[in-house]
C-alpha cells in the first residue's frame, strides 16, 4: 500500500507526514487495519524498541472543581457518582505513589482537579513531591494542576517536578463546544509556561467526543508544534451524569487508527494510551502496544482500569518489556532537545525550537460540584446519528472506589 510505505519511510527517518496523509490513515478500512498497525509498529520499534513505559496516577483532590469541561466526571454540574475529597496529605499521596512504583511504574502523575493552583497548592504539591522522592529518588514526577500562573512552573521545577501535564484535548476550532470556562489559548499558554520553565511538556487529546477526522489531525499537529514530549491519547469515558454520557462513537478499530495517526505524526515522541483503553480497545489492547510505547498502570482519576497485574501480563504476553528506571524514554536527539529547554529560553522559544526539530497524559483541569450546570454550559457536540441503546456500554465504565481517597488498597 503506497500510503503506508510512505508513512513508514518517513517515520523511520523521523519525518512528519502531510495533513492529507494523516487524514488518510483515519480513512483506512478495517480490512487494512493490521497493515496500519504493522506500519506504525515499525516506526514505534525504530525509536522505542519493545519497551513500554508505565505511568501511575495519584488523584490528589477529586471533584470540587468550577470548570465545566463536558467530558469530565469531576466537572461543574456533574452528577456522576464519583469519589469527592479535598487534598490528600503528603504521606497519603506518597503511599499511593509507592504502590504504583512497586508495580513497575517509572513515572508518578500527581493530579488535582480545579481551574489552577494557588500558591498554597504549589506548597502542598512541593511537600508531596518531597515525600515521594524521599522514598524513591529515581521516580519521575509529572504534575497536573490545571492552568498555571506566572512563576508557578518554575517553582514546580525547582521542587523536583520532571514534567507538567496539560492536554489540549481537541482542535482549536471546536474547543468552545466542550468548555466555556476557559479557552484553547489558555491551555496553550500553560503548556508553553511549563516548557519554558524546563519541565517536560506532557500534552495530549481526547478522542470520541463527536469530533471530525480534521479535528483530530488539527490537535495532533498542534501538539507537535508545541513541542509536547509525551502525547497521552485518551478515549472518552462517557460517564453517566455528564453531557457526553451518550457519546459512544468509538470502536476498537477506530481507536487503533487514531493511535497510528498520532504515531506517524510523532514518530520519535512518547505516545501513551491513556484513559479509556479498557473501555474502547477492550480485547484489542495488545495491538495498541505495537503503536504506543507508554500506558497508565492500574486505575485512573475517577474510573477503574483493569488489574495492574493484568497490565503487566498483557505487556509480557505481547512480547514487550517494562521500561526500567535507568532507561531513557526518549531517543537521544529528542532528550537533548528536552534538556535544552531548561537552559533559560523563553516559553515561546521552547515551543518553536521543539517543533522545528521534532516533537511529541491523561489529565487536566476537571471537577464536579453536585449541583446543576449553568445555562451556558457547553452542550454535547452534535453527532450525525445517535447510537443504539445496545451500543451504550455503560457497564464498562467503573467508578473508582479504591486507592487514593479511600481506605482500600490501590490497584497497581
**Which residues have C-beta within 8 Å of that of residue 83, sequence separation ≥ 6?**
59, 62, 63, 302, 399, 400, 401, 405, 406
Which residue, 136, 129, 193, is CA-closest to 161?
129
Give the DSSP H or E segment for 196.
helix 184-196
Give the SS3 label for residue 95: helix
* Of 141, 45, 25, residue with least CA distance to 93: 141
Beta-carbon contacts of 97 under 8 Å, excluding residues fewer than 6 positions away, are: 56, 58, 108, 110, 132, 135, 139
Among residues 227, 225, 247, 252, the alpha carbon closest in space to that of 237 is found at 247
Distance between CA atoms of residues 406 and 204, nearest Å: 29
The neighbour count for residue 189, using CB atoms within 10 Å, is: 15
SS3 for 25? helix
Pairing of strands 51-61, 205-207: unpaired
Supply the residues annotated as catalytic: 65, 69, 72, 109, 142, 202, 272
Identify the DSSP state of 24: H
* CA atoms lying within 13 Å on the CB side of residue 80: 32
CA-only gyration radius of the chain, Å: 19
Distance CA(249)–CA(131), nearest Å, equals 41
Write down the residue that cell numbers 449541583 correspond to: 371
Amino acid at each position: 500500500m503506497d500510503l503506508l510505505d510512505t508513512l513508514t519511510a518517513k517515520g523511520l527517518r523521523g519525518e512528519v507526514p502531510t495533513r492529507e496523509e494523516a487524514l488518510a490513515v483515519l480513512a483506512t478500512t478495517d480490512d487494512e487495519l493490521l497493515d496500519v498497525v504493522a506500519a506504525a509498529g515499525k516506526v514505534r520499534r525504530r525509536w522505542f524498541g519493545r519497551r513500554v513505559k508505565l505511568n501511575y496516577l495519584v488523584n490528589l483532590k477529586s471533584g470540587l472543581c468550577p470548570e465545566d469541561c463536558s467530558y469530565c466526571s469531576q466537572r461543574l454540574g456533574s452528577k456522576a457518582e464519583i469519589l469527592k475529597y479535598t487534598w490528600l496529605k503528603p504521606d497519603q499521596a506518597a503511599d499511593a505513589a509507592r504502590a504504583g512504583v512497586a508495580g513497575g511504574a517509572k513515572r508518578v502523575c500527581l493530579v488535582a482537579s480545579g481551574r489552577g493552583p494557588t500558591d498554597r497548592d504549589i506548597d502542598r504539591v512541593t511537600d508531596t513531591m518531597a515525600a515521594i522522592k524521599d522514598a524513591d529518588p529515581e521516580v519521575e514526577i509529572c504534575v497536573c494542576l490545571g492552568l498555571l500562573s506566572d512563576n508557578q512552573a518554575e517553582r514546580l521545577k525547582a521542587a523536583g517536578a520532571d514534567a507538567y501535564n496539560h492536554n489540549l484535548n481537541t482542535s482549536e476550532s471546536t474547543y468552545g463546544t466542550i468548555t466555556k470556562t476557559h479557552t484553547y489559548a489558555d491551555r496553550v499558554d500553560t503548556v508553553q509556561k511549563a516548557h519554558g520553565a524546563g519541565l517536560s511538556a506532557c500534552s495530549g487529546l481526547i478522542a470520541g467526543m463527536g469530533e471530525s477526522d480534521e479535528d483530530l489531525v488539527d490537535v495532533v499537529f498542534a501538539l507537535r508544534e508545541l513541542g509536547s514530549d509525551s502525547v497521552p491519547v485518551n478515549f472518552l469515558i462517557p460517564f453517566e451524569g455528564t453531557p457526553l454520557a451518550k457519546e459512544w462513537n468509538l470502536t476498537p478499530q477506530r481507536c487503533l487508527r487514531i493511535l497510528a495517526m498520532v504515531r506517524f505524526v510523532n514518530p520519535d515522541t512518547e505516545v501513551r494510551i491513556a484513559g479509556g483503553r479498557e473501555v474502547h480497545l477492550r480485547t484489542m489492547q495488545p495491538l495498541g502496544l505495537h503503536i504506543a510505547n507508554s500506558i497508565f498502570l492500574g486505575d485512573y482519576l475517577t474510573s477503574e482500569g483493569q488489574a495492574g497485574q493484568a497490565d503487566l501480563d498483557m505487556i509480557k504476553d505481547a512480547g514487550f518489556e517494562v521500561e526500567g528506571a535507568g532507561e531513557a524514554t526518549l531517543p537521544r536527539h529528542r532528550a537533548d532537545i528536552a534538556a535544552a529547554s531548561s537552559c533559560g529560553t523563553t516559553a515561546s522559544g521552547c515551543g518553536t525550537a521543539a517543533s522545528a526539530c521534532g516533537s511529541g497524559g491523561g489529565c487536566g483541569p476537571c471537577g464536579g460540584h453536585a449541583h446543576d450546570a449553568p445555562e451556558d454550559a457547553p452542550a454535547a457536540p452534535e453527532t450525525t446519528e445517535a447510537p443504539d441503546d445496545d451500543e451504550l456500554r455503560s457497564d464498562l465504565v467503573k467508578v473508582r472506589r479504591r486507592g487514593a481517597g479511600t481506605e482500600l488498597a490501590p490497584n497497581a
